[in-house]
Amino acid sequence: MLARSLLRALPLFGAAFKALAQTTSWTDPANTITFQAFTDPVHNVTYGAVFPPLSANSTEFIGEIVSPVANAWVGIALAGAMVDSLLLVAWPNGNSIVSSPRYATDYIQPTWYNGATLTTLPSSTVNATHWKWVFRCQNCTVWNGGSINLNSAPTWAWAVSTIPVDTPSSANSTFVEHTDFGFWGEIVAEAHASASDYATWASGGKVAPTSTTSVSSSTTSTSTSATATVTGTPYDYIIVGAGPGGIITADRLSQAGKKVLLLERGGPSTGETGGTYNAPWANGTKQLNRLYWIPTDQDFSTANGWPSAWTNHAPYTAALQARLPSTDHPSTDGKRYLEQSATVVAQLLAPQGYRNITINSSPDSKDHVYGNSAFDFINGKRGGPVATYLQTALARTNFVYKDYVYVSNVVRNGSTITGVKTNDTSLGPNGVIPLTKNGRVILSAGSYGSPRILFQSGIGPADMISVVEGNAAAAANLPPTSQYITLPVGENVSDNPSINLVFTHPSIDAYENWADVWSDPRPADAAQYLKDQSGVFAGASPKSEGITSRGRIGINAALTALPLVNPWFTDPVDKTTLITAINDLLTTVYTVPGLTLITPDNKTSIVDYVNNYDPGNLDSNHWVGSNSIGSVVDVNTKVIGTNNLLTIKFVVDASIIPALPTGNPHGTLMSAAEQAAAKILALAGGP
């Protein structure tokens, strides 16, 4: 029962990573302040910081942001993440700069943080092309839940938006999500000034500058000259997204001797990847969800939207099972724990003619059956591609994995793909990573991420490419309009509607609703799991249904992927079917001693309950279909319209699945990745 609410969404961006661009010493001639500074070459924003002497053990620093006016607001996250980090946000308002310290405990609008004091220094300016914010940040090296190590090189994060804040004159203004974000290594250990220089700068004065070293900038007139050019390493395959599809594909391609680069926007997840707690993370939602349904023949049938060449999924599903064995008793002692609910469910279903089976031993048996949930656990621990496929890939010298890399678009020359554009300038000039001759790009960024990248690459419906054209920074990376490729990217989206019924029964152990299972578990259960991975913690919680409704995924002005049309109950038959199923389920509820339905209550009919269910709670995060095979990608998962003899682009993630499978889609996705990798390798003209 770990998947429901145990893992708090706290991205771990706290340590410097080798792939990140690092700051260098740079003196702003306008104010003589010498910063450890970094310039993001994509948006041409310079970020700098200088601290008092290390011996002073101070809690403040002086910072500087220099930005083109195209960026309506710019922010810094001192912990390298939005959540539980001190955030500094600024924007121009007329001829002045408005700023505020912010804080967020979740991915919501950050609110004012009372612990820090920001003072805008006199050398701050606004002109026709740029705005510059020079500021003193007091009580800023320690905040709720975090701090800056003053003798280290922490990872800091930047965020920019081309969309103005709602009330520019107010430091408390709300604003929409950033247009882009990224990371850099701020070498705080080398950013300490003398006490006298720091005091002079903090008061708005100037000192005689010492030696200067440039930071890179291509257009910012107030910045300095460019640093040495970074040469990008070419790869046979660049795979964008380290979810289950991306990891499995990367492992199989590198196993075949191809030079493979796997890019992940998030960071480490489990211990195998260096993580302790994190989301977003390598392996995406698959690292959270250990429910494991072996796909049925129906799941890969032509009736379910698959080409006939995909219907023979058996050898690929077998290859998947060889790496990821299924179990319905994940504890190493062979026992099942917290089985009270299973006993009650059996009492509920048996009178209705349901048979108890081992789910994954009979994957095609789906009519009036039930069984213990099947999971992807190995030796009492969560398995999955990170624990298996990624580990074998990492052992190969021809495989490279980089996290915290945001891919904005593929680099195109007509229908030829020459590389990908990222936020990481250490991987290539201006963040561009090239392909080898005949190299290929594979998008595995998920049902939201892959469509966004296609839109930003000039591939998709005209209205979505038009949104990209309206964003100055993103529009600069689009190919000529004559090279746009019109495809139904983002259409045909489906997701399981999640309608919850709540029962009570005197035998059920709610296990404190799992509220403090990480921080304060029951001592005996924790000791048992740590000893041999057995007991209560060697389990997870299931949910699955099927639908025929369809929706649409697109992007907004901030280039954030989101549902444009929700996929739940657009076909009224789905709602009718669901209501019938719930009523069927409840026919025997009163035959189970002690079982009581409390949601909905006894005054609410099932029809009213479903009709009035909050649409915001329907999401099961089982999104598939936004790059459906047959309409966006062909039988080889190649994006339609990118066919040439040089480089082509593929999509291998849940977005290619044309319709929801019978069970949780993860098993179907991983089998599809096995098959896609084989088809890509067999396709002529590759590296």
pLDDT (tens digit per residue) in 186-219:
989 989 999 999 999 999 999 875 443 333 333 2
Position 390 confidence tier, pLDDT thresholds 50, 70, 90: very high
Cα gap 262→297, rounded to integer Å: 31
Query: Is residue 250's pLDDT more than 90?
Result: yes
CA angle centred on 621, ends 619 and 624, rounded to 5°: 110
Q: Mean pLDDT over residues 36-63, rounded? A: 89
What is the amino acid identity at position 346?
A: A
* 143 — pLDDT class (breaks 50, 70, 90): very high
pLDDT at residue 522 is higher than 70: no
Tokens matching residue 115: 């612990």
Residue entry with tokens 């329907």: 618
For residue 417, the cross-strand partners are: 412
* Rounded Cα–Cα distance for residues 564 and 466 (Å): 15
* Measured distance CA(421)–CA(419) in Å, rounded: 7
Please tell me which residue, 644 or 247, carries the higher pLDDT value.
Answer: 247
What is the rounded radius of gyration, in angstroms, for the C-alpha atoms of the chain? 27
Both tokens of 687, joined, read 């590296």
CA–CA separation, 317 and 298 (whole Å): 13
| Residues β-bridged to residue 619 | 497
Q: Say how far residue 484 (Cα) sits from the centre of its chain.
A: 27
Q: Domain limits of the chain?
A: 24-202, 235-496+544-682
Tokens representing residue 524 in the block = 């005996």
The larger pLDDT score, comparing residue 57 to residue 366, is at 57
CA 311 to chain centre: 30
Strands 130-138 and 117-120: antiparallel
Burial track 607-623 (b if 16+ CB lie within 10 A, e otherwise): eebbeebeeeebbbebb
Query: Which residues are designated catalytic?
Result: 622
Q: What are the phi and psi torsion angles at 167 (to 5°)?
A: -130, 90
Q: What is the mean pLDDT of residues 532-540?
A: 36
* Mean pLDDT of all residues in 284-313: 78
- Indicate the helix (H) or strand (E) that contains 529: helix 523-532
Core vs surface per residue 244-265: b (16+ CB within 10 A) or e: bbbbbbbbbbbbeebbbbbbbb
Give the lowest-confidence range in 87-96, 123-132, 500-509: 500-509
**At residue 608, what are phi and psi to the nearest 5 degrees?**
-65, -40
- DSSP secondary structure string for all residues of 660-678: --SS-HHHHHHHHHHHHHH
The burial class, CB within 10 Å (0-12 / 13-18 / 19+), for 604 is: exposed
Q: What is the pLDDT of residue 643?
A: 56
426 CB-near residues (< 8 Å, 6+ apart): 19, 20, 21, 230
DSSP 338: S
Q: What is the pTM of this model?
A: 0.65
Most confident among 227-231, 342-346, 651-655 (mean pLDDT): 651-655
The whole-number pLDDT of residue 332 equals: 63
Looking at this protein, which amino acid is placed at residue 274?
Answer: G
pLDDT at 484: 94
Structure tokens at 166: 């709602």
- Axis crossing angle, helix 244-255 with helix 665-682, rounded to the nearest 10: 30
* Superfamily of the domain at 235-496+544-682: FAD/NAD(P)-binding domain (3.50.50.60)
| Rounded percentage of the chain residues whose pLDDT exceeds 70 | 80
Q: Quick check: 681 pLDDT over 50?
A: yes
Q: Look at residue 254 and tell me whether its pLDDT is greater than 80.
A: yes
Tokens of 309: 């060449």
Whether 16 and 154 have beta carbons less than 8 Å apart is answered as yes
Q: For position 122, what pLDDT does the model report?
A: 96
Closest by Cα among 67, 242, 98 to 673: 242
Q: What is the pLDDT of residues 419-448, one digit of tens each?
A: 999 988 888 888 899 999 889 999 999 999
| Domain range 24-202, its CATH number among 1.10.10.10, 3.40.50.2020, 3.30.365.10, 2.60.40.1210 | 2.60.40.1210
- Helix (H) / strand (E) element for 201: namely helix 195-202
Residue 331 has a pLDDT of 61
Contact in structure between 399 and 254 (CB atoms under 8 Å): yes
* CA 559/CA 453 separation, integer angstroms: 10
CA distances from 468 to 139, 283, 463 (A): 39, 28, 9
Residue 370 has pLDDT above 80, yes or no: no
Q: Is the pLDDT of residue 644 over 50?
A: no
User: What value does the mean pLDDT of the chain take?
Assistant: 80
